[in-house]
Amino acid sequence: MNAFNRREALLALSAGGVVAATGTASFAAGLPQPQGSHVGGDDPGPRNPDRDVQNPDILNPPATDAGTLPNLRFSFADAPTKQYAAGWTRQVTKRELGISKSIAGVDMRLNAGGVRELHWHKEGEWAYILYGTARVTAVDPDGRNFVGDLGPGDIWYFPSGTPHSIQGLGPDGCEFLLVFDDGGFDEDSTFLLSDWFRHIPKSILAKNFGVPAASFDHLPAPSDRYIFNLPVPGSLDSDRIAGATTVPNGFVHRMSSQTPIKSAGGTVRITDSRNFPAAKTIAAALVEIEPGGMRELHWHPNTDEWQYYIQGIGRMGVFAANGASRTFDFAAGDVGYVPFATGHYVENTGDKPLVFLEMFKSDHYADVSLNQWLALTPPELVSGHLNFDAATMKALKAGKQPVVGSA
């Protein structure tokens, strides 16, 4: 029974609160047990059967797992959600996923008209629209502005220090993933427009803007903004500033519209500074794997990898040298992490496509394919190392296949 079917079975068993109501050995016998490739033994409880079903390769690790590795998985479902009148937000940083030193992520929802107030960050901000539509605005240091509408599969990137805003459009606002180029990022460390105004003397504001000090008698409290309601904006043209010079390369890229790298097992779309010049500190790949397929065995020679799972279920095997290897299971809304230069694969273990983002703190995407490495190495060396026969040597491929199909 695969992980998807085990999860469905647990949901059926859980109906009516059965799981909460019983801890008997007879019931436990119907749940996944720690009796995999190793000897193990059943677990009569106490236990969290939902977690066991979601993590079959932690409950019963493959025989190839060995040694001790840090946790490389955290779910947004386990992150506290901050709720506002116009939306909500939650984050996964190095505080939640300790290994994630280079990248942090935020999952944010804005209702129709909901505004993430004008603000800026010390960190560069990369974003991917998961649902709905949004309007984003920004102004660069040269006084050039940007106003644009984005939908599912579109991305934006704002360099550090660039002031910007986000607003949900009709009919149902938007949800998006924000990625920051520092694992120590914290939503609460954002430079907010309303917060700054509350901490400037009115006399200084009056002098700066050339208006009476009384003009600032009704400033909102910072807690009234952050994510707040405004009317849904009109057409894009209605928000353009007359006479303004626009950002020449733009802050937006249509990632899902890229021509993908196709193979028998799925597709990959790579976005970095080579096809999205604004993205100087974050590179990304959007990976889609068909059932039974896998992201080929590989590693990244330039930086760590931060993952966000959008659809489906899968598992990732990670090899960390010195005989250490571990397998992790993922579902939609989970975050994965692969340390720099660590060998790994991602396999679709469900019956629907597995879709996830690979994120890198870098201006360019780079990977090393195990298959390609062996194919481009003298055959006597390869066969001498691994005892490959002639048929296996012939099957090695000199061209990369980022996603491979089922055997």
| Distance (Å, whole) CA 187 – CA 226 | 10
Contact status, residue 360 vs residue 283, Cβ threshold 8 Å: yes
Q: Is 71 helix (H, G, I), strand (E, B) or coil?
A: coil
Residue with tokens 């720690």: 34
| Distance (Å, whole) CA 135 – CA 72 | 34
Catalogue all structural domains in the chain, each as residue range(s) with its CATH number: 74-253 (2.60.120.10), 258-404 (2.60.120.10)
Residue numbers belonging to the annotated binding site? 119, 121, 125, 164, 298, 300, 305, 344
What one-character-per-residue DSSP string does 268-316 give? EEEESTTTSTT-SS-EEEEEEE-TT-EEEEEE-SSS-EEEEEEESEEEE
Would you tell me how many other CB atoms lie within 10 Å of the CB of residue 264?
11
Residue with tokens 């760590």: 304
Which tokens belong to 162? 């660039």
pLDDT at 407 (0 to 100): 72
CA dihedral 144, 149, 154, 159 (to 10 degrees): 20
H/E run at residue 25: helix 25-28
What percent of the residues of the chain are helix, what percent strand, and what percent coil, each to the nearest 5? 20, 35, 45
The single-letter code of the amino acid at 166 is I
What one-character-per-residue DSSP string does 84-134 give? ETTEEEEEE-TTTSTT--S-EEEEEEE-TTEEEEEEE-SS-EEEEEEEE-E
| Distance (Å, whole) CA 137 – CA 269 | 26
| Distance (Å, whole) CA 107 – CA 129 | 10
From residue 377, how far is each of 297, 393, 401 by CA, in Å? 17, 11, 17
Contact status, residue 322 vs residue 245, Cβ threshold 8 Å: no
Q: What is the pTM of this model?
A: 0.91
What's the angle, vertex CA 297, arms to CA 306 and CA 356, rounded to 5? 35
pLDDT at 15 (0 to 100): 37
Contact status, residue 124 vs residue 282, Cβ threshold 8 Å: yes
| Distance (Å, whole) CA 4 – CA 2 | 6
Residue numbers belonging to the annotated binding site for Mn(2+)? 119, 121, 125, 164, 298, 300, 305, 344
N- to C-terminal Cα separation, the chain: 19
Contacts of 203 (CB under 8 A, 6+ apart): 213
Catalytic choice (96, 175, 347, 358)? 358
Contacts of 61 (CB under 8 A, 6+ apart): 36, 37, 38, 326, 327
Which tokens belong to 344? 């790994």
pLDDT at 38 (0 to 100): 63
**35-68: buried (b, 16+ CB within 10 Å) or exposed (e) per residue?**
ebeeeeeebeeebebeebbbbbbbbbbeeebeee
From residue 214, how far is each of 197, 200, 373 by CA, in Å? 14, 14, 70
User: How distant is the alpha carbon of residue 108 from its chain centre?
Assistant: 12
Residue with tokens 């996830």: 356
- Catalytic residue check, 358: yes
Contact status, residue 103 vs residue 183, Cβ threshold 8 Å: yes
pLDDT at 145 (0 to 100): 95
Largest CA distance in the chain: 85
pLDDT tens, per residue, the chain with 407 residues: 444 444 444 444 443 333 333 444 444 556 788 876 667 788 888 889 889 989 999 999 999 999 999 999 999 999 999 999 999 999 999 999 999 999 999 999 999 999 999 999 999 999 999 999 999 999 999 999 999 999 999 999 999 999 999 999 999 999 999 999 999 999 989 999 999 999 999 999 999 999 999 999 999 986 788 999 999 999 999 998 888 899 887 899 999 999 999 998 999 999 999 999 999 999 999 999 999 999 999 999 999 999 999 999 999 999 999 999 999 999 999 999 999 999 999 999 999 999 999 999 999 999 999 999 999 999 999 999 999 999 999 999 999 999 999 87
